[in-house]
A and B are shown apart, each in its own frame.
Chain A
Amino acid sequence: MNGHNACIVVEDLWFQYTEEIVALRGINLEIPDGAFVAVLGQNGSGKTTLVKHFNGLLKPTRGRVTVYGQDTATLPVGRLARTVGYVFQNPDHQIFCPTTREEIEFGPRNLDLPPEEVERRTEEALEYFGLTKHADDPPALLGFGLRRKITIAAVYAMRPQIFILDEPTTGLDWRSSMDMLRLVQDLHRAGHTILLITHDMKIAAEFSELCLVLRDGEVLLFDDTRSVFRQSDVLRQSQIEPPQILLLAKRMASLGMPDDVLTVREFCDAYVALRRSR
Chain B
Amino acid sequence: MAFTSDLYVERESWVHEMDPRVKVIYVACGVCAVLLFHNIFFMMLALLASHLLIFTAGVPRDRVTWVWKQMIPINILIPSLITLFYPQGPVLFQFLFLKFTLLAALRGVALALRLDAIAFIVFLWIFTTDQTKIIRSFVRLGLPFNAGLVLAISLRYIPTFAGLFTTVSEAQQARALDLSRGNFIQRLRQYIPILVAMIISALRTADKLSKALESRALGARGSKRTYFRDIAFRPVDYIYLSGAFLIFAAAVYLRFVLGVGTDLVNPLP
Contacts and interface: CB of A to CB of B under 8 A. Distances in A.
A81 B62 contact: no
B201 interface: yes
Contact of B175 (A19, A92, A140, A158): A158
B103 to A, nearest CB: 40
A19 B66 CA distance: 13
Contacts of B197: 92-96
Contacts of B204: 92
A17 interface: yes
Contacts of B193: 96, 106
Interface string B161-187: 000100110111111111010000000
B196 interface: yes
Interface string A8-30: 00000000011111000000000
Please classify how large the interface on chain B is, using the bins under 10, 10 to 19, 20 to 34, 35 or more: 20 to 34
B181 to A, nearest CB: 8
Nearest to B201: A92
A153 B175 CA distance: 12
Nearest to A107: B175
A244 interface: no
A109 B117 CA distance: 45
B199 to A, nearest CB: 9
Contacts of A95: 197, 200
Nearest to A111: B176
Interface in A202-257: none
A88 interface: yes
Contact of A77 (B62, B174, B194): B174
Contact of B170 (A57, A106, A107, A154): A57
A176 to B, nearest CB: 20
A158 B197 CA distance: 20
A191 interface: no
Contacts of A90: 167, 201
Contacts of B168: 93-94
Interface of A: 17-21, 52, 55, 57, 76-79, 81-82, 85-86, 88, 90, 92-96, 106-107, 110-111, 140, 154-155, 158
Given A77-B176, A96-B194, 6 more contacts: A18-B2, A82-B176, A86-B174, A90-B167, A93-B171, A96-B193
Interface of B: 2, 60-62, 164, 167-168, 170-178, 180, 192-194, 196-197, 200-201, 204
The 4 A-B residue pairs with the shortest CB-CB distance, nearest first, are A110-B176, A96-B196, A81-B176, A107-B175
